[in-house]
Amino acid sequence: MSSRDLILARVRRALADVPRDDTPYDQAFARPYLREHGHRSVAETVDLLAENLADYRALVHRCTAGELAATIARLLAERGSAAVCVPTGLDPAWLAATEVTRVPDSAANTPAELDRVDSVVTACAVAVAETGTIVLDGSVDQGRRRITLVPDHHICVVRVPDQVVSSVPQGLERLDPARPLTWISGPSATSDIELDRVEGVHGPRTLEVVLVSGE
């Protein structure tokens, strides 16, 4: 017998006492928990996102669409970045105000090459206000998972309010499980040494989130 059949047979034997039950899963039990916690206006939801991101040590900036290029240019300059990784589908206008060397996201980039890149600029798929989380789904304006991991500085642009949801259940609804997803709540962190929190062990030590509003 293969181990597959062995394990499945053991499972069936182990469940001999359990009455057969063919209730469809969505009717098997109720989900009385909340779809979101509290009632907030759209503006309040965005404020909550900003607050929770900042609480987890992300640096939060707000600007209008017209100011975005200047904002990104300023953040890269303040950081002294010499090279920035850019997803292939990122709106070129976002980087129109900076001269920093572009490194296009490509399967050919080795991890060691990415390690020499200072910053990365991406969009996101959705942001969850209640937990202060941004989610990347690998779309062309977000790039491969590793480009937001290896460089030490990540600038993530969130279009508000349309990319912001209140809660985890609402966030999951918007996401496609077939895509590789990365949920990010603040910069990389550890509390493994005497429970003292230290930012940035392996992922980016600095996460900057730009909440961009308007056209």
Check residue 45 for interaction with other proteins (CB under 8 A). no
Q: How far apart are CA 141 and CA 145, in angstroms?
A: 12
CB of 202 to other proteins, least distance (A): 4
Q: Binding string, 144-173, against other proteins, x = CB under 8 A?
A: xxx--xx-----------------xx--xx
Residues in 119-148 at the binding interface with other proteins, rule: CB under 8 A: 128, 130-133, 138, 144-146
CA 18/CA 8 separation, integer angstroms: 15
Select from 1-9, 69-77, 81-89, 158-166 the region that touches other proteins (CB under 8 A).
Answer: 1-9
d(CA 136, CA 85): 16
Residues 65-94 that bind other proteins (CB under 8 A): none
For residue 7, the minimal CB distance to other proteins (Å) is: 5
CA distance 184 to 200: 13
Q: Give the footprint of other proteins on residues 89-118 (CB under 8 A).
A: 107, 110-112, 115
**Tokens 């508000």 — which residue?**
160
* Min separation Cβ 15 and other proteins, Å: 6
Show Cβ contacts of residue 107 under 8 Å, excluding neighbours closer than 6 positions.
144
* Phi/psi of residue 7, nearest 5 degrees: -65, -45
